[in-house]
Structure 1
Amino acid sequence: MYGIRNCDSVRKARKLLDESKVDYTFHDYKKDGADENALNEACERFGWESVLNKRGTTWRKLDDETKAGVSDQGSAIALMMQETSLIKRPLITGGKQLLLGFDAALWGEIMEKGEL
């Protein structure tokens, strides 16, 4: 699981996984930086527009020139590598499912099927 330790969505996701006794490794973007391969995989699966979080404070604080420079997957990943708070989270990789964002109902269904 990739995310930021103090993010509300990440905390909810980790709590659910811990309560469900699901083993996972946590990669904290703030301590460990972003993983370019994981970002590429997420962008290929979900589209870079979904992986790049434009709804948060970090995006709103960027200058207009920086925002305008994000026009494709490569430029989005480059910016997310610099500003890890721009990555939608949590991101789950390595299991049977690739998941982006936290949806308790969906995650519950996936865990019931043993696909996480």
Structure 2
Amino acid sequence: MLTVYGIKNCDTMKKAMAWLTDHNIDFTFHDYRKDGIDEAWLSALVQQVDINVLVNKRGTTYRQLSDEQKQNLNSDTIVPLLLTQPAMIKRPLLIQDTLIEFGFKADRYHQLLIK
């Protein structure tokens, strides 16, 4: 089962979920704010993907970090930070079996999900 992680009222999330619905792709939506995130799940994700891919550096939450916080992001500091600031996780995040995909690009979704 495909799971889409993110924040419901994000415009990019809306586009991604509309694309999935339009292409009859079943998915479960996990809202970071409503459903929360688990430390063990997040720690496992950090082990699988580069922090620079995981963190949404264009978002307001990231831009509000101090320069020191930005410079000290690593696998040890990122988990506690993202647990308190899940809006910093790049979205949407799609996970299905071994597939982990960040962001939304229709042609990439088509390549990955249309068989």
Q: TM-score, normalised by structure 2?
A: 0.83
1:34 aligns with 2:37: yes
Taking only aligned residues, the RMSD between alpha carbons, in angstroms, comes to: 1.8
Instruction: Count the aligned residue pairs.
Output: 112
In structure 1, stretches of 5+ residues that fail to align are none
Compare the two structures and name the one with the higher helix fraction.
Answer: 1
Pick one of 18, 21, 45 that aligns with 1:18.
21
Is contact 1:92-1:99 (8 Å) kept? Answer: yes
Pick one of 89, 97, 108 that aligns with 2:91.
89
Please list the CA deviations of residues 35-61 of structure 1 after superposition, one character each: whole Å capped at 9, or x if unmatched.
334433433333112101122111111
Percentage of identical aligned residues: 38
Is contact 1:89-1:100 (8 Å) kept? Answer: yes
Is contact 1:3-1:27 (8 Å) kept? Answer: yes
| Residues 1:19 and 1:38: Cα distance change in structure 2 (over 3 Å) | farther
Is contact 1:92-1:100 (8 Å) kept? Answer: yes
Pick one of 48, 57, 64 that aligns with 1:61.
64
Q: Match for 2:82: what amino acid? A: M
Tell me which of the two structures has the higher relative contact order, counting C-alpha pairs closer than 8 angstroms and 6 or more residues apart: 2
Residue equivalent to 2:110 = 108
| Residues 1:96 and 1:64: Cα distance change in structure 2 (over 3 Å) | closer
In structure 2, stretches of 5+ residues that fail to align are none
Q: Match for 1:28: what amino acid? A: D
| Residues 1:99 and 1:38: Cα distance change in structure 2 (over 3 Å) | farther
Compare the two structures and name the one with the higher strand fraction.
Answer: 2
Q: TM-score, normalised by structure 1?
A: 0.83
- Superposition deviation, residue 23 in structure 1: 1.3
